[in-house]
Amino acid sequence: MAAKKIMIIDDEEGLCRMMAAVLMDEGHAVRSFNNPLEAVELFRPNLWDLVISDIKMPGINGLEVLQRIKAIEADIPVIVITAYATVEMSIQALRKGAYDMLTKPFEPEELLFRVRNALNHNQLKTENQKLRQELKGKFNFDNIVGASTRLQHLLDKVEKVSVRDTSVLISGESGTGKELIAHAIHYNSPRKEKAFIAINCGAIPDSVMESELFGHKKGAFTGADTDKEGLLKAADGGTLFLDEIGNLPLNIQKTLLRFLQEQEFRRVGETTATRVDVRLISATNSDLEKEIEKGTFREDLFYRLNVINLHLPPLRQRRPDIPLLAAHFIVAQNKKFKTEIRGLSPEAQQAAIEYSWPGNIRQLKNVIEACITIETEPHISLTTLAQFIETDETLTDSDDYNKALAHFEIDYLRQLLSSVDGNIEEAAKKASMNMATIYRKLKKYGLRKQDILKS
């Protein structure tokens, strides 16, 4: 552990010297105070990593010291020391914000153990706060790329919805950025300091969906060897995002409806209810009203989820945003792969604007990455772009297009699998593809992992 700055407050000079020596041997910077009033007067925020204070001291006691220090810097961990630990005193210290208590007499090893725990806890807390700030910045409305009128109208609505704690249903074709909008709602809402939990309802087998969402009690079913906290409990105080909500089984729909009505649920195999405070955001690329007509989706649940509806337009309906998105992805890929592509050529940009992009933003991102992989010029040319989407150039010679596409896919698969030592799961994550798609393409081109890794 890196050296930390530790303040010791104790009117016993001998104990102060002992603690300081032990902690300095660990590499920490330590300053001791025998006068608690002097210590409090010299305490400044962001100067210390940990405070260790005795409880019984002349002038002001340790609980008062604790309270004053916490008023100056609420997040700093404080360990209190006492020779007379009682339940009442422990409760008082914890209520006032103490991280831990140390009872006299104690061995140096115990002191080090408590100090390491406190410092690790503080470091994790700092890292978590930093991560939340990064996420907040990442999902700021200004970072959602696009200037089209349709997108700006949508973002105006999203901004208003974020501060109102109500259920939201996001609809739109696959690849339009529904999860990005869900993140933006959460990180611009009063719940931003709490968890954002996402689950794809189409990716989890029906047999385990109930346990994933609501949790289960040990012994509730075969294989339930321990208690499990479900995602609803994990999202307490924050946001639960249910992607592809249309794939939710009817029996789970019923349980979810009951939760939305009562704000409580029962874990599988449990008789007592658990109450949580969770905002629900859901998303779908299917027409739920048609699913209601077919009897595969509950109408009452639909109205509970669809309090606010946000519809994301497909990319073909926001063509002015295509050059901006392409430029955004080029910058990101240059940073990731250490390349220096300057942008699309004028011909390639016009072709991108005219293309229908059936896979929407996700497809555009993947195509840009593929183009950068093989482009040798400063700008992505129409010839390069035409290997991945239909343009006027590709329509005149489909045979050449298919050959070029096959050649690229073979080279790309070879490079991809070589970079992950043949691990299909890692390759799928890196390429944003399904594992099944990679296996299918390997079979299509007669490629074998062992041959690729030997070459």
Q: In 375-448, which ranges are continuous DSSP H helix?
A: 382-385, 392-395, 398-419, 424-431, 435-444
Matching residue, tokens 């989890």: 204
Structure tokens at 356: 């229908």
For residue 271, what are the contacts with CB-CB under 8 A and spacing of at least 6?
Answer: none
**72-123 pLDDT tens trace:** 988 889 999 887 656 666 677 777 888 888 888 888 888 998 898 888 876 6
Q: What is the pLDDT of residue 145?
A: 81
Q: What is the pLDDT of residue 143?
A: 64
Measure Cα distances from 355 to 18, 164, 380, 428, 430 in Å: 74, 37, 16, 26, 26
Bridge partners (DSSP) of residue 274 are 265
Asked whether 302 and 308 are in contact (CB, 8 A), the reply is no
3-state helix, strand and coil shares in percent for the chain, rounded to the nearest 5: 55, 15, 35
Q: Do domains 139-313 and 316-454 have the same CATH topology?
A: no
Q: What is the pLDDT of residue 397?
A: 46
Torsion on CA atoms 428, 434, 439, 444, rounded to nearest 10: -110
Distance CA 168, CA 165 (A): 9
Q: What is the pLDDT of residue 292?
A: 95
DSSP 168: E
Taking the domains of the chain in order of start, what are their residue ranges? 5-133, 139-313, 316-454
Q: What is the pLDDT of residue 396?
A: 47
Q: What is the pLDDT of residue 126?
A: 61
Q: What is the pLDDT of residue 129?
A: 57
- A 10 A CB-CB count for 137 gives 11
- DSSP labels, 282-344: EEESS-HHHHHHHTSS-HHHHHHHTTEEEEPPPGGG-GGGHHHHHHHHHHHHHHHHT----EE
Structure tokens at 29: 């910077």
> What CATH topology corresponds to 139-313?
Rossmann fold (3.40.50)
Q: What is the pLDDT of residue 417?
A: 86
CATH class label, 5-133: alpha beta
> What CATH topology corresponds to 316-454?
Helicase, Ruva Protein; domain 3 (1.10.8)
Dihedrals phi, psi of 242, to nearest 5 degrees? -105, 100
Q: What is the pLDDT of residue 204?
A: 83
Name the packing angle between helices 346-354 and 322-337 (round to 10°). Answer: 120
Residues of the chain with pLDDT under 50: 135, 395-398
